[in-house]
Homo-oligomer: A and B are copies of this chain.
């Protein structure tokens, strides 16, 4: 039985994506700038099956309900593109916790897109592949590529855009992202539901949209020029602005847990002591800390002193999605 296997790494946005354009194409209302991480990812194997519908196995557990439907709807698009009606067994293994703000859906849909491109002989180029991945999960478009990735916002008029591309950055940046896991729990509110609620009810959402492009352009320029301080400051500003937008929703919501604040406070204290590092948080309680490679071990050690931290990983920039 023919099968295709692909692996994609997670990525973490430094300049955040939060909010979608109206419609069913999952087009992001904002662009983003991300870093693909070496440490975590998803391996996905596709095999054709004779069955009425696709089967989705995640970490050896057969999925039902919304997770299954999401994969089936995605494969329906793949089948339309590939003029096929064949069903699949999708066998995925995450080495990141699922649904906890560690971007498992980014690596998941990137790996699935790359495997499906081959398995259904779609012959998509990387940019088109990133658009396909985006339909599955907005942040998955970025995991097609390695290192720093620039993601274009969707365009409201012609409903295009929403694709990613690799960004050539100054190698002198030599950065690490320290992933500090602050809880073991699954998030209560999915990114998708959180974005929708924010865009529907937060009075700050229009300003989030209106001020985003400038942050993205300045951070992208900083990354290309190797200006770590500017990149870090904008990274922190973008995540705080995003989470602020959620707090102001009606009703407000937050992904912060007590340890999230403890790590944020520690980052601020380290910076006051002259150690340049900057935090970013996604739709979950964990904190990811951007720093120079030479400081990573020391910074990680100082987080280890915070009681209750679940796990700390120092992540290097990682490569793009690959067939295996």
Which positions in A face B, CB cutoff 8 Å? 203-204, 206-207, 211, 233, 236-237, 240-241, 243-245, 247-248, 250-252, 254, 256-262, 264-265
Besides A243-B244, A257-B265, 10 new A-B residue pairs in contact (Cβ under 8 A), listed by A number: A203-B207, A203-B241, A237-B250, A240-B252, A243-B247, A244-B245, A244-B252, A256-B256, A258-B259, A260-B261
Given contacts A204-B248, A243-B247, A251-B233, contact A261 B258 (CB under 8 A): yes
A244 touching B236, Cβ below 8 Å: no
In this complex, what residue of B is CB-closest to A205?
Answer: B207
A204 touching B244, Cβ below 8 Å: yes
Contact pick for A252, options B204, B237, B250, B262, CB 8 Å: B237
- With most chain B CB atoms within 10 A of its CB, the pick from A254, A257, A259, A265 is A254
A203 proximity list for chain B (CB < 8 A)? 207, 211, 241
Majority secondary structure, A binding face: helix
In this complex, what residue of B is CB-closest to A206?
Answer: B207
Tell me the complex Cα distance, A250–B233, Å.
9
Tell me the complex Cα distance, A264–B252, Å.
11
Given contacts A204-B204, A204-B207, A261-B261, contact A248 B244 (CB under 8 A): yes
Contact pick for A247, options B206, B240, B259, B265, CB 8 Å: B240
CB distance from A206 to the nearest CB of B (A): 8
Tell me the complex Cα distance, A237–B207, Å.
18
**Would you list 17 pairs from A and B whose C-beta atoms are within 8 A, ordered by A residue?**
A203-B207, A204-B204, A204-B248, A206-B207, A207-B207, A236-B252, A237-B251, A240-B248, A244-B244, A244-B245, A244-B247, A244-B252, A256-B256, A256-B261, A257-B265, A258-B259, A261-B261
Contact pick for A257, options B237, B251, B261, CB 8 Å: B261
A260 proximity list for chain B (CB < 8 A)? 261
Contact pick for A248, options B233, B241, B258, CB 8 Å: B241
In this complex, what residue of B is CB-closest to A256?
Answer: B261
CB distance from A220 to the nearest CB of B (A): 18
Tell me the complex Cα distance, A254–B247, Å.
13
Tell me the complex Cα distance, A175–B172, Å.
59
Contact pick for A258, options B241, B247, B252, B258, CB 8 Å: B258
**Which 10 A/B pairs are nearest by Cβ-Cβ distance?**
A258-B258, A244-B244, A240-B252, A244-B247, A240-B247, A244-B248, A241-B248, A204-B204, A203-B211, A258-B262
